[in-house]
A and B are shown apart, each in its own frame.
Chain A
Amino acid sequence: MSQYVLRRLLIAVPSLLAISLVLFVVLALAPGDPFSDLATNPNVPPEVQAALRAKFGLDDPIYLRYLHWLNAMLHGDWGFSFVSRMNVDTLILQRLPATLYVIGSAQILALLIAIPVGVYAATKPYSLFDQIANTLAFVGFSLPTFFTGILFILIFSVTLDWLPFVYSTDIKATGIHWVLEMIRQAIMPVAVLGLFQAASMTRFVRSAMLDVIRLDYVTTARAKGLGQTKVIVKHVMRNAMIPVVTLIALQMPAVFGGAIVTEQIFRIPGIGSLLISSILSNDTPVVMAVTFVFACLVVLFNLIADVLYGWLDPRISLR
């Protein structure tokens, strides 16, 4: 097993390098100059701009700039935001907790709904429960988050006045009040994201379960006289979870991306909104860093998925 994990880790390193190279080249070739504000500001003489470009190495050839970036990155230097004039890692670290909190909670909520509902629906296919669960799931993933987000705001903030719809990073309370307030303000974004995720995941869990539930070994287990719960949990679920793990793991980075919309609606100062505003203002170092973080997430979650496969089905790690 440990050898298997090590092997996977060794593959992750070159993939990350390759990804960073592609990202860097694409960003370098993309139109838009981080100093365009200065360049076209008639107040700023061209010498100033030239000096700044030289200072940040913007006139070097791409491969040199990439090597500089890589070298700095290996030393833990993520670069310098041209727009906010502060270090990129500080900016990202400021944004990370909100993103992790909201997206993490939404993902947990989605799992808590999808697995039991999907499993139960699969054990009783075409029953009333299954029909209702399916209908709700279809409705759930047909409605985009920007729609449900605004709907939730109108119902719970405007009409009922129960929940705030502007996320605050800086709650003026301590102890239990702080915790309660943090939960209160996250209810809507987490529900919006979580229900959306849960809808598609429920469908997936159900079909994965159905695939396994009809296999001969399950019939054998039943024939041995094992109870229904034991058969489902021990024999069916374990095998059915392999494709589900793949789905969740591969979806994780997409969730970070998909949360950009939710972050805009609820004004959550997360990574997604940082990425959007940086792209719009040509703040290349920030865009590079955030997209690289996303790339790392993809690789990391793939790695986690691989490890989980090994645990769910030991045959996989032996090969």
Chain B
Amino acid sequence: MLDKELRSMIGDVKDGRMDRRAFITRMAAVGLTAPLANQLLSIGGVAMAQSPAPYPPTKRGGGGPLKLLWWQGPTLLNPHFATGTKDQDGSRLFYEPLASWDVDGNLNPILAAEIPSTANGGLAADGKSVTWKIKPGVKWHDGKPLTADDLVFTWQYASDPATAAVSISTYADLTVEKVDDLTIRILFKNPTPFWANAFVGAYGCVIPKHLFAEYKGSKSREAPTNLAPVGTGPYTFVEFKPGDLVRGKLNPDYHMPNRPYFDTIDMKGGGDAVSAARAVIQTGEFDFAWNMQVEDEVLLRLEKGGKGKTVYATGGDIEFIAINFTDPNTEVDGERSSMKTKHPILSDPKVRKALALLVDRDSVKKAIYGRAGRTTANYLNGPEKFVSKNTSWEFSVEKASKMLDEAGWKVGADGIREKDGKKLKLLYQTSTNGPRQKTQAIVKQACQKAGIDVELKSVVASVFFSSDVANPDTYSKFYSDIEEFQIPMTQPDPALHMRRYVSANVATKENKWQGPNFPRYVNKEYDDAIAAAETETDLVKRAALYIKCNDLLWQDTVFIPVMHRLTVDACSTSLKPVVSGWANRTDNIQDWYREA
């Protein structure tokens, strides 16, 4: 779409010549979905719709207990210490951000009185500041009022290096100032196109100054409130047993009318995904279970005549096979997969392309993901505005074989290709997980047909995803030729997701493999595009830059995308959860209810 056209359309909406819905529909037609269309409008100066979710209950409480089953239970309840989604989900029952992402990817105000926009003066024209107004009358669970001081304090708390908060990067590069008791202003150093990061979503939870003030910085671990949260959320804290149980009860002073619906909330932890699905879908012992990483076939079987169903939400999570650009089998200065080496086989683009042709996404979808996956050729799969239309994938053993022939790999006596006496043999690692092992088997079979010998390896998830420097089996060390896993996209904006693969982020011994660029991909064009996108306030140009980055990853076959994954949860038939693919599961917990 032309820049000019888009601007005139935004103008139309602003002046009331076109309504918001029509605008979003037209945007959708050109490949732009709700969240970004909305962001466009808000930057363009149109107030974001604060469309209330349909919420039928007409009074607070009366819904009985809500029983949630998380197969990994929360181990701590301070949102700024939360290392995994399980901890964020648990803390979110009690703490709240200013706004969170709803099912369609719109910003939904929680503690904010309204979503900032150019029209209401919330967004500065230069993109360097945003002003948030807090809803008046919100109280902490102990009765003290919520004020701008709490937000300023939350910023100070999280951005203080001594606190060791995991949310530090969200808050470190900005300044938060109090305008009045119920207004704050966030100041950015550079024009920031994606302004809805601080105080939004999981890391956006506001903590009470009066309870945490003494425990900022090095004393942060001693705060009694780390274990017994006092927030503003729909449920007040009752009990916490790490890894086992989080318990809350209805907050009678909650700031949203008729909410929450449930009288008590229990989040039970432990066990595995299959039995969690069984407890919700088949026996109905629980109302909702998180993250059903189970083959679709199993879920379909459970759903037959059961008391529950599966629910899906679309985000940008991508399951992929990453290719190692360095040599995992040669040690240079005590480091394998060193930047000083080149992969002896995979540095040839033809071999990488051939490999991409050998991943049969259709079979993987049919045999494993079913309703929970969409086949894709893109690394970046959402929001729609950022999704490239220039890519495509194909499964063809013949084409792959031809490509390998061209690259000089000839089939040997044992059916395995070789070149200069070297066998075409690859080590394919992933985390131990049913669907992943099945995908491995499908890929291995196709590779065998094409004369590639693939050795499979699976590593226990807690080791594979750990950041343990001493462990050789982590994904970031990447001591194999190819590896498969999923990277979740936590925000409806690609900035964080895509900047991982700039060359400055290569995982090396020097940075203790902290660098998120584990394929060790280096491309100046990619680096430049990311740098340009990060300060580009023109949203259309910015989107084009991210599409370009995605296409570079595709052309260079850095990743072989396998499946665009939807989040899958199990839910009892009567429960009406609000689950967004762009937020944590419990991010809209105040809107959950049960149909009588």
**A residues adjacent to B (C-beta < 8 A):** 31-33, 36-45, 47-49, 51-52, 55, 81, 83-86, 91, 94-95, 153, 157-158, 161, 164-166, 168-170, 172, 264-265, 267, 269, 273-274, 277, 280-282
Contact = CB atoms under 8 A, between A and B. Distances in A.
Interface in B413-467: 460, 462, 466-467
B243 interface: yes
Contacts of A47: 161
Nearest to B467: A40
A239 B268 CA distance: 48
B221 interface: yes
Nearest to A286: B242
B285 interface: yes
B398 interface: no
Interface of B: 65, 69, 75-76, 78, 81, 83, 161-162, 164-169, 172, 218, 221, 226-227, 239, 241-245, 247, 266, 268-272, 275, 278-279, 282-283, 285-286, 460, 462, 466-471, 476, 512-514, 516
A166 B247 contact: no
5 contacts: A41-B514, A44-B161, A48-B164, A81-B242, A280-B460
Given A43-B172, A84-B242, A86-B242, 5 more contacts: A37-B467, A39-B467, A40-B469, A157-B285, A168-B268
Given A32-B470, A39-B512, A44-B164, A83 B76 contact: yes
Grouping DSSP codes into helix (H, G, I), strand (E, B) and loop, the A interface class, with mixed when no group exceeds half, is loop
A83 B226 CA distance: 12
Nearest to B472: A31
Q: Which 6 A-B pairs have the closest CB atoms?
A: A40-B467, A31-B470, A269-B244, A84-B242, A280-B462, A43-B169
A95 B278 CA distance: 25
B394 to A, nearest CB: 37
Contact of B162 (A51, A86, A168): A51
A264 B271 contact: yes
B469 A94 contact: no
A119 to B, nearest CB: 38
A37 B226 CA distance: 18
A116 B318 CA distance: 59
B168 A166 contact: no
A165 B285 contact: yes
B469 A39 contact: yes
Given A169-B241, A170-B247, A269-B241, A264 B272 contact: yes
Contact of A161 (B65, B226, B278, B283): B283
Contacts of B279: 165-166
B271 A265 contact: yes
Residue of B243, B245, B286, B462 with highest tally of chain A CB at under 10 A: B243
Nearest to A91: B242
Contact of B275 (A48, A265, A281): A265
A238 B168 CA distance: 68
A51 B271 CA distance: 36
A158 B282 contact: yes
Given A31-B470, A44-B161, A172-B65, A86 B241 contact: no
Contacts of A45: 161
Contact of B166 (A43, A165, A265, A280): A43
Given A32-B468, A85-B81, A165-B275, A273 B268 contact: no
A42 B469 contact: no
A1 to B, nearest CB: 42
Nearest to B164: A48
A161 B245 CA distance: 24
A158 B283 contact: yes
Q: Which of B244, B278, B470 has the most CB of A within 10 A?
A: B244
B286 A166 contact: yes
Contact of A31 (B83, B462, B467, B471): B471
A40 B507 CA distance: 11
B164 A38 contact: yes
Contacts of A281: 75, 462
Contact of B227 (A42, A51, A85, A265): A85
B513 A40 contact: yes
B161 A48 contact: yes
A274 B514 CA distance: 28
A51 to B, nearest CB: 7
Contact of A40 (B167, B275, B286, B512): B512
Q: Which residue, of B275, B279, B462, has the highest number of chain A Cβ atoms within 10 A?
A: B275
A84 B271 CA distance: 18
A274 B283 contact: no
A310 to B, nearest CB: 41
**Among the interface residues B272, B285, B286, which one has the most CB atoms of the partner chain A within 10 A?**
B285
Nearest to A273: B270
Given A32-B468, A164-B285, A42 B514 contact: yes
B75 A83 contact: yes
B70 to A, nearest CB: 11
A159 B2 CA distance: 61
A161 B283 CA distance: 7
B283 A157 contact: yes
A138 to B, nearest CB: 28
Contacts of A36: 466-469
B169 A42 contact: yes
Contacts of A48: 161-162, 164
A37 B83 contact: yes
Contacts of B218: 51, 55
Nearest to A86: B227
B232 to A, nearest CB: 22
A150 B476 CA distance: 36
Given A51-B162, A84-B75, A273-B270, A158 B278 contact: yes
Nearest to B460: A280
Contacts of B466: 32, 36, 282
B514 A40 contact: yes
Contacts of A153: 275, 278
A111 B493 CA distance: 62
A42 B516 CA distance: 9
A84 B83 CA distance: 11
B266 A33 contact: no
Nearest to B170: A43
B222 to A, nearest CB: 9
A172 B275 CA distance: 23
A170 B239 contact: yes
B164 to A, nearest CB: 5
A267 B467 contact: no
Contacts of A164: 283, 285
A88 to B, nearest CB: 11
B283 A165 contact: yes
